[in-house]
């Protein structure tokens, strides 16, 4: 009986360990995906400086920080967070496939 209990505990510890490693790997991949989009927006998007003037820059940074925290906690995927960040700019030229933001394009 003790052997069975020990095997059960070992199997439980092993499965929890595997799950946590997978979760950490998924979170790291999501963070890497989000970092890529942030870098592209800040360095390559022609409208970045125009769309983040004054208080809008603070709003952008606040949203970016919130999305980083949500990715780190596992509440959001990198793709979903990236699409939300892209939607912040309300630009028809920036979009994520299959993701619809609240703004309407005329």
pLDDT of the residue at 100: 53
pLDDT of the residue at 62: 96
User: Would residue 101 count as lying in a domain?
Assistant: no
- What's the domain count of the chain? 1
User: Would residue 2 count as lying in a domain?
Assistant: no
User: Would residue 53 count as lying in a domain?
Assistant: yes
User: Would residue 79 count as lying in a domain?
Assistant: yes
Element (DSSP H or E) covering residue 13: helix 2-44
Average pLDDT, integer, range 29-35: 89
User: Would residue 103 count as lying in a domain?
Assistant: no
pLDDT of the residue at 91: 86
pLDDT of the residue at 67: 96
pLDDT of the residue at 106: 37
Q: Phi-psi category of 83—alpha, beta or left, where left has phi over 0 and alpha has psi -120 to 50?
A: alpha
pLDDT of the residue at 95: 76
Q: How many CA atoms lie within 13 A of 62 on its CB side?
A: 6
Tens digits of residue pLDDT in 35-92: 999 999 999 999 999 999 999 999 999 999 999 999 988 888 888 899 999 989 988 8
* Structural domain span for residue 80: 27-88
**Taking the model in full, what pTM does it have?**
0.69
Identify which has the larger pLDDT, 68 or 19.
68
């Amino acid at each position: 009986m003790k052997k069975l209990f020990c095997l059960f505990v070992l199997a439980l510890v092993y499965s929890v360990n595997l799950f946590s490693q997978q979760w950490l790997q998924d979170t790291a991949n999501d963070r890497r995906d989000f970092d890529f989009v942030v870098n592209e927006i800040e360095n390559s998007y022609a409208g970045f400086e125009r769309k983040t003037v004054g208080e809008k820059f603070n709003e952008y940074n606040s949203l970016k920080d919130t999305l980083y925290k949500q990715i780190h906690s596992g509440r959001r995927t990198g793709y979903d967070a990236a699409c939300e960040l892209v939607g912040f700019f309300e630009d028809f030229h920036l979009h994520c496939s299959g993701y619809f933001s609240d703004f309407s394009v005329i």
